[in-house]
Amino acid sequence: MRRVLQTLLCSALVVLCATSVGVQSATVDSAQLLRDLETLSSDEMEGRLPGTPGGAKARAYILRRYKEAGIQPIGDSYERPFAFQGRGDSSDQRGVNIIGVVRGRREPGRFIVLTAHYDHLGVRNGQIFNGADDNASGVAAILAIAARASADKPEHSLVFAALDAEESGLHGARAFLRDPPVARDAIVMNVNLDMVARDANNVLYASGTFHSPFLKAYLKDVARPPVTLRLGHDATKTTDDDWTEDSDHFPFHQAGIPFIYFGVEDEAQHHKATDDAETVTKAFFVGATNTILAAVRKFDANLEAISARR
């Protein structure tokens, strides 16, 4: 089994991350954030392919962390099973979304849905594709954001959805919208996190304002050190590198729900066996998570105005 991070090294990196982002702006628990990333992208999870023992281990870990982060189930269970057909496979496969909520203190009947897929590519030719950036990072980040939201209580409700089977065709997001856990017309927007932990230049992208220009105003001044936040990768008519259809925000877009997709340009290690916890840029990851938290807080504070512009 690959050794992920030694305790002393992790402690030193946490200190570095806290120093880099500054004490007052480091509003997520950076130590827990890194532990969640390391655990979900460890060899024990076997690449988190849907329907495998590794996928089940990842799901069990996420369920435990949902409870610890203060995320409540919607109904009787966090788990929402669904059937899907993979690319080039006519047989039914099974996926499981993990969905819960932090209720708003002022208007709990309006929702922001935060999504991050927890599946990855599994084991191929004897190599484990651990998917640290893609997308253990997004799941770890929504857990950190949920813990802060549970402590600070948003004005509106936040749904946290760890989605399955993204890699095989966005099936978890499609299943979410086929049978939404809350009324679809009460979902004001989607914030999707997919690959937020590795960028040598500390650049995080927020994609989606081409389709919903009114969201630009709420992304000003949310970047937290060492992150530079840029808008883009969504203008279909002006660029070939359009991320609109590339992750779980796309089914929300198709349903007419505004989205912001946070992600990085990481072609060098995208879907490579080297996408491990050891190779992410940890100070950036902490800063990116704090940036996304700040954006979610801004969206929450202005959700009535956002709803009126849909």
Residue 12 within any structural domain of the chain: no
Mean pLDDT of 76-91: 87
Q: Where are the beta strands (DSSP E) in the chain?
A: 72-73, 79-84, 93-102, 107-117, 122-124, 127-129, 156-163, 187-193, 203-207, 228-231, 259-263
Query: Binning pLDDT at 50, 70 and 90, where does residue 232 land?
Result: very high
Separation of alpha carbons 150 and 66, rounded Å: 11
Contact in structure between 26 and 290 (CB atoms under 8 Å): yes
Check which CATH number belongs to the domain holding 100 and give it: 3.40.630.10
State yes or no: pLDDT of 190 exceeds 50.
Answer: yes
Sign of the alpha-carbon torsion through 19, 139, 131, 197: negative
**Burial class of residue 107 in the structure, from the number of CB atoms within 10 Å of its CB (0-12 exposed, 13-18 middle, 19+ buried):** middle
Residue 1 within any structural domain of the chain: no
State yes or no: pLDDT of 198 exceeds 80.
Answer: yes
Separation of alpha carbons 36 and 30, rounded Å: 10
Residue 243 within any structural domain of the chain: yes
pTM: 0.90
Residue 20 within any structural domain of the chain: no
State yes or no: pLDDT of 49 exceeds 60.
Answer: yes
Look at the chain and report how many structural domains it folds into.
1
Residue 88 within any structural domain of the chain: no
- How many Cα neighbours within 13 Å face the side chain of 293? 29
The predicted structure's pLDDT at residue 282: 98
Residue 297 within any structural domain of the chain: yes
Residue 202 within any structural domain of the chain: yes
Give me the domain span that covers residue 288.
25-81+93-309
Query: Binning pLDDT at 50, 70 and 90, where does residue 237 land?
Result: low
Sign of the alpha-carbon torsion through 254, 195, 215, 148: positive
Mean pLDDT of 283-298: 98
Dump pLDDT digits (tens) for 14-29.
Answer: 333 333 333 334 489 9
Reported residue count of the chain is: 310
Query: Worst-scoring range by mean pLDDT, 7-11, 133-137, 227-231, 266-270?
Result: 7-11
Cα angle value 127/63/194 (rounded, 5°): 55
State yes or no: pLDDT of 244 exceeds 60.
Answer: yes
Query: Binning pLDDT at 50, 70 and 90, where does residue 169 land?
Result: very high
Q: Report which residue type is found at 127.
A: Q
